[in-house]
Amino acid sequence: MSAPEVELSGVRRSFGATQALRGVSLAVRRGEVYGLVGPDGAGKTTAIRMLAGLLRPDEGHARVLGEDPSHPSSPVREQLGLVPQRNSLYGDLSVDENLRFFARLFGLSRADFATRRERLLSITRLERFTERRADALSGGMYKKLALACALLHRPRVLLLDEPTNGVDPVSRRELWELLYGLVHEGMTLVVSTPYMDEAARCHRVGLLYAGEVIAEGAPRELARAHGVAPGNFEAVFLELIRGRAA
Ligand SMILES: Nc1ncnc2c1ncn2[C@@H]1O[C@H](COP(=O)(O)OP(=O)(O)OP(=O)(O)O)[C@@H](O)[C@H]1O
């Protein structure tokens, strides 16, 4: 079996007295959609930020394509895309200006940018809105633009922190279709979400609760193991949490 592309191993991280991650381990293979599923405050953003190299663990380690993503000169940074939870774009800049800004940041050549721009505007269906300011976009369109900006440099691993938060159901479905398209092209995805129904859209999920992975597996298998209908992760979660409280 191939080596994991994304890995957390025994990761602990505290902020003052708050233990955000309490010994989290996970491994994601090429072409997988791995869901970090859990309620607000479970530690999802902390885990994503660690994989993006923006935070270091107190204990344990994070690896992406076998490298430490927090290392300033790590080549893996070029292979990583991040869609943060909010405010990742310049609200006063238009769709086109945001794309251009991030293309410069990633060092894309003029010709490469032209190709990427066309492709990304097409898959996100933002072609008709290139002049619109990011702040004036709907929630779903804003997330699609954030995704387009994160994809400019053709990352191999994409990290998405609650990409469908505040997005209407139709745009949510569209975003997921877009994500599957990327996976089809060989990308590896780690997606955090507080929406239990979205767990079923992932190949594998880690259920995160109070800084710990309390269950992990393929959605259907987890549902079967807990005797609930496929996709009913709320029931799986409640049973697991009840089990811990008992
Ligand atoms: N920079 C920080 N300073 C202090 N506490 C923090 C910091 N970052 C996270 N925390 C705390 O760590 C815990 C986990 O937060 P985290 O943001 O990772 O959770 P989450 O699952 O992403 O939830 P949310 O969806 O609400 O962001 C929370 O109790 C949070 O308040």
User: Which of 14, 37, 44, when mutated, tests ligand 1's pocket best, judged by the most ligand atoms within 8 Å of its CB?
Assistant: 44
pLDDT tens for each residue of 25-74 = 999 999 999 999 998 999 999 999 999 999 999 999 999 999 999 988 88
Give the three-class secondary structure for 52: coil
Give 215 Cα–ligand 1 centroid separation in angstroms: 20
Cβ 99 under 6 angstroms from ligand 1:
no
CA 98 from chain center: how many Å? Answer: 20
Give 43 Cα–ligand 1 centroid separation in angstroms: 6
ipTM over 0.85: yes
First to last CA, the chain: 38
6-245: CATH topology: Rossmann fold (3.40.50)
Sequence letter at residue 228 = V
Cβ 166 under 6 angstroms from ligand 1:
no
Cβ 188 under 6 angstroms from ligand 1:
no
Cβ 39 under 6 angstroms from ligand 1:
no
Nearest to 198 by CA among 242, 148, 163, 156: 163
pLDDT tens for each residue of 113-172 = 999 999 999 988 899 999 999 999 988 899 999 999 999 999 999 999 998 887 888 888
pLDDT number for residue 236: 80
- CA dist., res. 150 & res. 89, Å (int): 10
Sequence letter at residue 20 = A
The full length of the chain comes to 246
Cβ 131 under 6 angstroms from ligand 1:
no
The DSSP letter of residue 94 is: B
Contact at 8 Å (CB) between 91 and 133?
Answer: yes
Q: Which atom of ligand 1 is nearest to the CA of 165?
A: 25
Residues 6+ apart with CB under 8 A from 157: 5, 6, 64, 65, 79, 80, 81, 187, 188, 189, 190
How many alpha carbons fall within 13 Å on the CB side of residue 63?
Answer: 16
Helices 139-151, 110-123: axis angle to 10 degrees equals 150
Q: Where are the domains of the chain?
A: 6-245
